[in-house]
Copies of this chain bind each other. A is one copy, B any other.
């Protein structure tokens, strides 16, 4: 009778469980479905989400944090999902992957530059504070 609390190999989640887990609204989840980033199973009318959907949501959120649009995240998701077979498709996929990788490397460079520049700001700022402190010592 309480099996589901003891053993649940492929537990599915309702939309609000997922929303809580990812700290987003149900509206957002449905919106992602509209845009083709998720397509959960249905039990009657209701949506049921598997771990695959959780993976996708994780990818989406990581994508957002690094400035990707939903479309870009969708492209990434489709790279993770094989769904293929055919040689041409594999080669196209390889091209897409290497293109994305290049872009991500470029983004790393931008990040590094901004970080070193912020380091500079920090140093100049601390020097200014040191000067003030020395004056106070006198």
Contacts and interface: CB of A to CB of B under 8 A. Distances in A.
B121 A79 contact: yes
Contacts of A118: 76, 79, 97, 100-101, 104
Nearest to A82: B124
Contact of A66 (B64, B107, B122): B107
Nearest to A136: B87
Interface string A41-67: 000000000000000000000111111
A126 B66 contact: no
Interface residues of A, number: 42
Q: How many copies does the complex hold?
A: 2
A113 interface: yes
Interface in A90-138: 90-91, 93-94, 97-98, 100-101, 104-108, 110-115, 117-119, 121-122, 124-126, 128-129, 132
Interface of A: 62-68, 76, 79-80, 82, 87, 90-91, 93-94, 97-98, 100-101, 104-108, 110-115, 117-119, 121-122, 124-126, 128-129, 132
Given A66-B66, A76-B118, A87-B132, 9 more contacts: A62-B110, A90-B129, A94-B125, A97-B121, A97-B125, A98-B122, A104-B118, A105-B115, A108-B108
